[in-house]
C-alpha cells in the first residue's frame, strides 16, 4: 500500500471515530484526536536508525494516526528498519478504528511491522490499580495524551504520588509513565498543552521530566485555537522531543502559526531553555533572535525581588468564602475591596461600578486577617483576558487616607513589603516596569497561558531600586509611554 494511502485511511478512521464519540464521554476522557498534518509533524521529530528493529509505544492511541504517520516515515525513509508497535487505548468504542489502522500498518510489510492493540487504561493499569499492564522498555514513545485535570484526592492522582511524582493533569501523568518505559537513549515525542512549562502546579512534574530526559526539539504553535479546532480546544500547544539520559547541549526551537503554516527554526543553547540552577525548572521558549535578545536584556537587570526587599503574594480575599463580608455600598467599618476589574491604565480605580462588591466589612478575627494596612501597593491580574494585549497587567493602589485597611481579592497578585505598603516612588516605578513590553515579551517565553502566578513574578529580574524610583518619578504608567523611554537598562 502506498504511504499516502496509509495516512489517508488513518485520517478517515480518525474522522469517523471523532464523529461517533459522545461529547460527554469525550470530555471525560480528554480525547482530542490528532489531525493528519499534525501527526506528520510529530512523527518527523523521531530519530530513526538506518536499520535494525525499534519498539514503539503509542499510549492513548485513539484511532492510531500517530502510529500510521510513523510507519509512513519508516516505509519511505528506512527500507531496512523493522518496527514493533504497541498501541494502547482505553475507550472500547474507538478500538475498532484503531485495530483497522494498525492492521493496515502491519499489512504494508508483515516481515517488517508487528503490531499489538491493547484495550486498557494506560494510567491506572500502569500503576496497578486496574488490570495489570506489563510492558517492556521502548525505543520510542509517540503520543497525544488525553487532557483533563486530576483532582487532588482522585484515585489517579494518589496513584501517581505512589508512583513517585505528583501530577495535576492527565497528560502529565501519561508523560511521566511514558518516560519510565523508555530504554536508555529512548525517545519521547508528544504534543501537549504548553502549561507544564511554568507555574507551581507542574513543578514536581517538570523536575521529574527534565531529570529523566534531555529536550532536543520543541515546536510552538502561535494559534490557540486551530490545532484541535474540531474539539474546541483553546490551549497553546507544543510538540516536544526528548531523549532518556541524553546530552544537554542544544535545543532546536521551531514555530508556526498553526499546523498548516510555514515553520521557522532556531537552535539555542540548552541553558537558554532550562537554566542551570533554576529551582523551578521553567522551560523557556526563546524561539527567535528577538526572544533571545529579550532574555539577554532581562538577564541584565541587576535585582531579584529579594534584593529589593519586596514580596509578592496572591490577594487574601476568596470572595465565595467571604460572602458575609462583601458589601455593595459604603457603610461604617467597611474597607475598600479591590478586584481585577478595578485595574485601569496602570492605576487602581476605586470604587468602580464593575458588578463586583467594592467594600469588605470584617465580622470576625479571620476576616480581619484578610486585610492589609492602607498604603502604596502594586496589584497584578492573575488572569488576563484573551483580548488584552498584555499578559501582565499591573496597577498602583494609591492610599485613600480615609480607610485604615484595604482588601485585595484572590484573583490579584499583590506586591508588598512585609505585608505593608511600599513607598510611592517605588510602587509607581514597579508598576511601570511590569507594564513594559520587555517584561511582557519575556513572560511569554516561558508562559503559554493567561495565568500569572506569584511564583512567576518572583522569578523575574528587576531593575535596581534607583532605576525603579526614577521610573516612579517620571509619571509614566502605560506601556506605550514606558516603551518610548530609555528606562529599561540596568542601573
Q: Are residues 278 and 417 in the same domain?
A: no
CA proximity to 143, closest of 232, 242, 267: 242
Q: How many domains does the chain have?
A: 2
Model confidence, pTM = 0.76
Q: Are residues 7 and 93 in the same domain?
A: yes
Which domain-ending residue is among 233, 256, 287?
287
In a domain, 60, yes or no: yes
Q: Are residues 395 and 439 in the same domain?
A: yes
Q: Are residues 223 and 354 in the same domain?
A: no
CB proximity list for 299: less than 8 A, separation 6 or greater = 461
Range scoring the smallest mean pLDDT among 18-22, 108-112, 309-313:
18-22
Residue-number span of the structural domain to which 180 is assigned: 3-287
In a domain, 95, yes or no: yes
Q: Are residues 174 and 257 in the same domain?
A: yes
Q: Are residues 15 and 164 in the same domain?
A: yes
Q: What is the pLDDT of residue 170?
A: 93
Q: Are residues 279 and 317 in the same domain?
A: no
Q: Are residues 14 and 61 in the same domain?
A: yes
Q: What's the CATH code of the domain at 252?
A: 3.40.50.150
Q: What is the pLDDT of residues 241-288, one digit of tens each?
A: 999 999 999 999 998 876 667 888 889 899 989 988 888 898 988 766
The secondary structure of residue 229, as a DSSP letter, is G
Q: What is the pLDDT of residue 74?
A: 96
Cα–Cα distance, 107 to 331 (Å, whole number)? 78
Q: Are residues 281 and 309 in the same domain?
A: no
CA proximity to 341, closest of 371, 385, 297: 385
Distances (CA, A) of 489 to 312, 367, 486: 23, 42, 7
Q: What is the pLDDT of residues 277-333, one digit of tens each?
A: 888 898 988 766 677 788 778 888 999 999 999 999 999 999 999 999 999 999 999
Q: Are residues 283 and 315 in the same domain?
A: no
Amino acid at each position: 500500500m502506498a504511504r499516502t494511502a496509509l495516512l489517508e485511511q488513518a485520517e478517515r478512521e480518525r474522522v469517523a471515530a471523532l464523529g461517533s464519540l459522545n461529547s460527554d464521554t469525550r470530555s471525560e476522557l480528554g480525547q482530542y484526536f490528532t489531525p493528519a498534518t499534525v501527526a506528520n509533524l510529530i512523527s518527523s521529530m523521531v530519530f530513526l536508525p538506518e536499520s535494525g528493529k525499534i519498539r514503539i509505544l503509542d499510549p492513548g492511541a485513539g484511532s492510531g494516526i500517530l502510529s500510521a504517520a510513523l510507519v509512513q516515515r519508516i516505509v519511505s525513509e528506512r527500507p531496512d528498519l523493522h518496527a514493533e508497535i504497541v498501541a494502547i487505548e482505553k475507550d472500547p468504542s474507538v478500538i475498532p478504528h484503531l485495530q483497522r489502522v494498525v492492521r493496515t500498518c502491519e499489512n504494508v510489510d508483515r516481515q517488517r511491522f508487528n503490531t499489538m492493540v491493547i484495550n486498557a487504561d494506560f494510567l491506572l493499569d500502569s500503576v496497578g490499580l486496574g488490570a495489570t499492564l506489563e510492558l517492556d522498555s521502548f525505543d520510542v514513545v509517540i503520543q497525544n495524551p488525553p487532557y483533563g485535570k486530576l483532582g487532588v484526592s482522585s484515585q489517579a492522582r494518589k496513584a501517581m504520588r505512589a508512583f513517585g511524582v505528583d501530577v495535576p493533569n492527565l497528560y502529565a501523568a501519561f508523560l511521566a509513565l511514558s518516560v519510565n518505559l523508555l530504554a536508555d537513549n529512548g525517545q519521547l515525542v508528544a504534543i501537549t498543552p504548553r502549561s507544564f512549562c511554568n507555574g507551581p502546579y507542574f513543578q514536581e512534574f517538570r523536575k521529574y521530566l527534565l531529570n529523566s530526559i534531555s529536550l532536543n526539539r520543541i515546536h510552538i504553535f502561535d494559534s490557540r485555537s486551530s490545532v484541535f479546532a474540531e474539539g474546541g480546544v483553546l490551549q497553546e500547544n507544543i510538540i516536544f522531543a526528548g531523549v532518556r539520559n541524553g546530552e544537554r547541549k542544544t535545543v532546536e526551537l521551531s514555530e508556526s502559526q498553526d499546523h498548516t503554516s510555514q515553520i521557522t527554526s532556531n537552535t539555542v543553547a540548552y541553558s537558554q531553555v532550562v537554566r542551570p540552577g533554576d529551582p523551578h525548572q521553567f522551560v523557556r521558549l526563546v524561539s527567535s533572535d528577538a526572544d533571545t535578545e529579550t532574555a539577554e536584556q532581562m538577564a541584565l537587570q541587576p535585582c531579584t525581588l529579594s534584593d529589593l526587599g519586596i514580596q509578592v503574594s496572591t490577594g487574601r480575599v476568596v470572595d465565595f468564602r467571604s460572602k458575609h463580608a462583601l458589601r455593595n455600598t459604603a457603610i461604617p467599618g467597611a474597607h475598600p475591596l479591590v478586584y481585577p476589574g478595578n485595574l485601569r491604565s496602570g492605576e487602581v480605580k476605586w470604587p468602580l461600578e464593575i458588578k463586583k462588591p467594592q467594600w469588605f466589612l470584617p465580622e470576625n478575627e479571620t476576616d480581619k486577617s484578610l486585610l492589609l494596612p492602607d498604603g502604596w501597593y502594586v496589584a497584578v491580574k492573575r488572569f488576563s483576558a484573551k483580548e488584552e494585549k498584555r499578559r501582565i497587567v499591573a496597577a498602583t493602589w494609591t492610599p485613600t487616607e480615609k480607610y485604615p485597611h484595604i482588601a485585595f481579592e484572590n484573583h490579584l497578585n499583590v506586591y508588598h513589603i512585609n505585608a505593608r505598603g511600599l513607598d510611592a516612588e517605588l510602587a509607581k516605578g514597579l508598576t511601570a516596569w511590569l507594564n513594559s513590553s520587555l517584561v511582557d515579551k519575556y513572560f511569554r517565553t516561558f508562559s503559554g497561558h493567561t495565568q500569572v502566578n506569584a511564583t512567576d513574578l518572583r522569578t523575574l529580574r528587576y531593575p535596581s531600586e534607583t532605576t525603579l524610583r526614577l521610573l516612579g518619578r517620571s509619571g509614566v504608567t502605560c506601556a506605550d509611554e514606558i516603551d518610548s523611554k530609555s528606562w529599561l537598562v540596568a542601573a
